[in-house]
């Protein structure tokens, strides 16, 4: 049985090995398993796993292991450029490529969208409160997928006057805000369409690259050439290089953190671009000359539960935290109790990973803790022993390969001192 085990190292040791500032980590093709340094899209799933879309393939990163999916090793991933990633309520990955890929951790699915015989690109994907998927395309318009039904909105059958969708946002009321290439923004509440453009509103530019909402439901809008725009439902406020410290008028990424700070990126490779933080008063600029940012060209920004910013650039994946990068790795500094995590993926075929933690011994002189991790079938028969030895305090991960077992329900049980915990997993072929 194939096993793979790793004890997680302290964060400072990881950073030291990379030789990087503790506020910044940069992953690229030379120090990680990214398939390409052009990182176009990022999403984080419910297991805190990062999914990174590049110019030439997809990477899965669980903070320790990398898995690469490219057209050469993934049969239904026909096109390697991943323009967008959305993770739905069932933890399925929806990938905007040359059309659409869906990955449920076991199986890949592919859907084609064509206009005049040519494949169409899915630029952006979001899920609404009902787990319906909304997709913006290059020329097909807006697509909705709910349950098993597809609905297409375009210039010939709806109030959407532009079929080239460049941005998509769903606000807390369920309204869809659709940025287009030639006609500004369309708001769709499920019934009525409202268009905001540079002739009927304060929107200064009709090519909209990004839309986001803050805690007050103000819309923050990124344009191609006219900077950053804020719309409160009545008034429009414009920030550009002439009236603010915004370094570049091309705004392609906007993410708002829990403190209501705006993090702004530009996909323009101009030396005056980079990452910008705006707190409502002050503009702070991070670029290749004053920070660990590997490129001033930013395609995507995502903020994780530790307030780390994951930044997709033209020269790799950057991770940044003003207070110092925090991750699950750091938690090994003080482990207070035993724990056994749910295996991932689950269901699995044929392998899955199991994580567990061992706290510091109350009597360090006694050495480590005797740990047992075993697999049982539905009848309670032992089918595998993964661990049966003393372990020091730390976080551990082990891979279980059920290649020689039939499909079915299995149980894995961790025993350590007086701690016993059992969880269920499903092998599905």
**Per-residue confidence band for 16, with pLDDT thresholds at 50, 70 and 90:** very low
**Per-residue confidence band for 392, with pLDDT thresholds at 50, 70 and 90:** confident
Least confident piece of the model among 214-228, 266-280, 403-417: 266-280
- Structure token pair of residue 322: 């003003």
Least confident piece of the model among 186-190, 265-269, 352-356: 265-269
**Per-residue confidence band for 366, with pLDDT thresholds at 50, 70 and 90:** low
Are the C-beta atoms of 228 and 251 separated by less than 8 Å?
yes
pTM (two decimals): 0.75
- Helix, strand, coil percentages, rounded to 5, for the chain: 5, 45, 50
pLDDT of res. 357: 87
φ and ψ at 280, to 5 degrees?
Answer: 100, -20
The dihedral built from the CA positions of residue 121, 220, 218 and 192, taken in this order, carries a sign that is negative
Beta-strand ranges (E) seen in 257-297 are: 262-265, 275-278, 283-286
Mean pLDDT value across the chain: 89
pLDDT of res. 192: 98
pLDDT at 50 over 60: yes
Pairing of strands 142-146, 236-239: unpaired
pLDDT at 23 over 80: yes
- Structure token pair of residue 156: 């010939």
pLDDT at 361 over 80: no
pLDDT at 333 over 80: no
Give the pLDDT confidence of 406-418 residue by residue, as tens digits: 999 999 999 998 8
pLDDT of res. 9: 32
Are the C-beta atoms of 79 and 97 separated by less than 8 Å?
yes
Element (H, E) at 53: strand 50-54
Q: Give the C-alpha distances (Å, rounded to integers) separating 387 from 173, 336, 364, 413, 417.
A: 50, 21, 21, 10, 14
Structural domains present in the chain: 10-326 (2.130.10.10), 329-427 (2.60.40.1930)
**Per-residue confidence band for 360, with pLDDT thresholds at 50, 70 and 90:** confident
pLDDT of res. 325: 81
Q: Mean of the pLDDT values across residues 76-87? A: 94
**How far apart, in whole angstroms, are the C-alpha atoms of residue 42 and residue 18?**
22
pLDDT of res. 271: 67
The dihedral built from the CA positions of residue 62, 265, 132 and 166, taken in this order, carries a sign that is negative
pLDDT of res. 344: 87
Are the C-beta atoms of 354 and 343 separated by less than 8 Å?
yes
**Per-residue confidence band for 121, with pLDDT thresholds at 50, 70 and 90:** very high
pLDDT at 19 over 70: no
Most confident of 268-272, 388-392, 423-427: 423-427
- Which residues make Cβ contacts (< 8 Å) with residue 256, sequence separation at least 6? 212, 213, 214, 215, 220, 262, 263
Q: Which letter, b or e, does each residue of 316-351 get, where b requires 16 or more Cβ atoms within 10 Å of its Cβ?
A: bbbbbbeeebebbbbebeeeeebebbebbbbbbbee
pLDDT of res. 382: 97
pLDDT of res. 2: 36
């Amino acid at each position: 049985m194939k096993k793979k085990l790793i004890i997680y190292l302290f964060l400072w040791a990881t950073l030291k090995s990379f030789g990087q500032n503790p506020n910044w980590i940069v992953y690229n093709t030379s120090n990680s398993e990214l398939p390409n340094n052009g990182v176009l899209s990022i999403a984080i799933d419910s297991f805190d796993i990062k999914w990174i879309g590049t110019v030439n393939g997809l990477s899965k990163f669980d903070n320790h292991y990398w898995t690469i999916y490219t057209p050469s090793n993934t049969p239904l991933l026909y096109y390697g450029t991943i323009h967008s990633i959305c993770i739905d309520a069932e933890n399925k990955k929806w990938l905007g490529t040359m059309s659409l890929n869906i990955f449920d951790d076991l199986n890949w699915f592919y859907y084609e969208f064509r206009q005049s015989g040519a494949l169409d690109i899915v630029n952006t994907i979001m899920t609404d409160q009902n787990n319906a998927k909304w997709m913006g395309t290059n020329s097909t318009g807006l697509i909705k997928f709910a349950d098993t039904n597809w609905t297409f909105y375009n210039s010939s059958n709806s109030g959407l006057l532009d079929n080239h969708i460049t941005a998509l946002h769903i606000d807390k009321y369920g309204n869809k805000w659709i940025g287009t290439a030639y006609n500004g923004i369309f708001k769709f509440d499920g019934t009525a369409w409202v268009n905001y453009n540079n002739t009927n509103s304060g929107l200064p530019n009709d090519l909209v690259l990004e839309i986001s909402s803050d805690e007050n439901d103000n819309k923050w809008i990124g344009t191609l050439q006219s900077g950053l725009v804020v719309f409160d439902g009545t008034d429009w406020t414009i920030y550009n290089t002439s009236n603010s410290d915004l370094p570049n008028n091309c705004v392609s990424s906007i993410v708002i953190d829990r403190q209501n700070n705006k993090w702004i990126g530009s996909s323009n490779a101009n030396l005056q671009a980079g990452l910008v933080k705006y707190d409502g008063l002050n503009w702070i600029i991070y670029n290749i000359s004053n920070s660990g940012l590997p490129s001033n060209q930013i395609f995507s920004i995502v903020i994780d539960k530790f307030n780390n910013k994951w930044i997709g650039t033209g020269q790799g994946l950057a991770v940044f935290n003003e207070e110092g990068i925090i991750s699950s790795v750091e938690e090994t500094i003080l482990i207070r109790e035993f724990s056994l995590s749910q295996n991932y993926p689950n269901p699995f075929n044929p392998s899955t990973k199991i994580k567990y933690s061992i706290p510091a011994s109350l009597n360090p002189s006694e050495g480590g803790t005797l740990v047992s991790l075993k697999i049982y079938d539905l009848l309670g028969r032992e089918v595998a022993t993964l661990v049966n030895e003393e372990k020091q305090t730390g976080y551990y991960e082990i891979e279980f390969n059920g290649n020689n077992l039939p499909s079915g329900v299995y149980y894995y049980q961790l025993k350590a001192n007086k701690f016993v915990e059992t969880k269920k997993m499903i092998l599905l072929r």
